[in-house]
Structure 1
């Protein structure tokens, strides 16, 4: 009888100890799990916020990513000042790490340095534009060309030049050089054929290409290419 009571007492004490131990472990585990869960939620929120900010910045950069072109006024202290053909002035911010520079010759593209860009060079800049300042991703040194059309108002046979009035009433003086590519529309076949200066008449329509210049006050250019449309073409 005494043995039975003793065994029962020991079993009761053992079960009580196990119950208390299990409860303590559960409580500790619960307490430690709570901050871990909260921390995970907080990290997730921060990650989501960062992604939203990054996406917004990317969206703004894409929206403001532009290309401008013009002639170099100066190139100093990582800033290029340029003037467009419309006489607007911009500042080009250069980054020693990110900005790339290239020179275009025909269909060839060669990488150059920022110091190779000189005053009066014609450049094309791509990057993020804000107001009158563009942060350059790429700068291309190229030749700028102007394409226009107008009617022949006057012919100077001695100096091999012609005066053109465009539909916008702009006046141009074109010097026809030996290097100028000249062609004329054959009004019978509607095909362009090689032509010479002597074929040009007052009243003819001229499509022309000239190389843009940094300074040109009189709109006087050496013609790169001209296409003559005889006035008779419009009388058919």
Structure 2
């Protein structure tokens, strides 16, 4: 009886040892990681070459168009130009870059920065009225015109102008407005204050669009005055 018990005891120990060896992986086996097949490597290499070639071709055929955003989605925007001319701009999440212009500098921003009615410049491959965008630039549009001063309001600091293009403009002279006048004797430019501007003077001005308080009323960025005396000397 004792012999039978001893034999069973050793059999249990032996079978447990074999079972443990079967289930426990060796250290070498646990360190093995899957490797990419040659086919996978070739496919990834081909994708990289195609993406590089597409980027090269898009850069080579790069052109530009500008306008105001009229519609925006995750993959495209529509921009409207003067005369209601529209362009469809396609966005590539891997290739398209986004920038904001500030003076002479540009900084990279994200797509969410671009809002409806923003003025933008688009660089990319243009096919009729569609653009595959390489880059979008959030910019400011400036308006340049000239004419004759017809009214100077020193209480509210605005100037009314009869434009050479037959339009009438109202210019708000702000603290940031740069004001210059031509010296009729030396023809040099001199900085002036608002009080130097008179009705009948010729004016050239730069204004920022998109900030109109009312139609044809702009905050003036810069004005250049040619006194009326210059033309009657």
- TM-score by structure 1 length? 0.68
1:139 is aligned to: 136
1:207 is aligned to: 204
Unaligned runs of 5+ in 1: 1-53
Report the Cα distance in structure 2 between the residues aligned to 1:183 and 1:214, rounded to whole angstroms. 23
Q: 1:119 aligns with which of 109, 116, 120?
A: 116
Task: Report the alpha carbon displacement of residue 223 of structure 1 after superposing the two structures with TM.
Answer: 0.6
Unaligned runs of 5+ in 2: 1-52
Rg larger in 1 or in 2?
1
1:110 is aligned to: 107
Query: What SS is found at the alignment partner of 1:187?
Result: coil
Which stretches of structure 1, 4 residues or longer, exceed 4 Å deviation after superposition?
A: 214-217
Over aligned residue pairs, what C-alpha RMSD do you find? 2.3
| Mean CA deviation greater in 211-220 or 196-205 | 211-220
Report the Cα distance in structure 1 between the residues aligned to 2:171 and 2:205, rounded to whole angstroms. 9
Q: How many matched pairs?
A: 177
Q: Is the 2:211–2:218 Cα contact (8 Å) retained in structure 1?
A: no
Report the Cα distance in structure 2 between the residues aligned to 1:219 and 1:234, rounded to whole angstroms. 27
2:22 is aligned to: none
Change beyond 3 A, Cα 1:137–1:215: farther
Q: 2:158 aligns with which of 151, 155, 161?
A: 161
Query: What SS is found at the alignment partner of 2:170?
Result: strand
2:231 is aligned to: 234
Report the Cα distance in structure 2 between the residues aligned to 1:214 and 1:83, rounded to whole angstroms. 17
Q: How does 1:175-194 map to 2 (within 5 A)?
A: 175-194=172-191
Change beyond 3 A, Cα 1:149–1:215: closer
CA deviation vs aligned residue, 1:7-29 (integer Å, no higher than 9, x gap)? xxxxxxxxxxxxxxxxxxxxxxx
Task: Report the alpha carbon displacement of residue 225 of structure 1 after superposing the two structures with TM.
Answer: 0.8
- TM-score by structure 2 length? 0.69
Task: Report the alpha carbon displacement of residue 84 of structure 1 after superposing the two structures with TM.
Answer: 2.4
Report the Cα distance in structure 2 between the residues aligned to 1:209 and 1:192, rounded to whole angstroms. 16
Query: What SS is found at the alignment partner of 2:175?
Result: coil
1:70 is aligned to: 67
Report the Cα distance in structure 2 between the residues aligned to 1:112 and 1:188, rounded to whole angstroms. 49
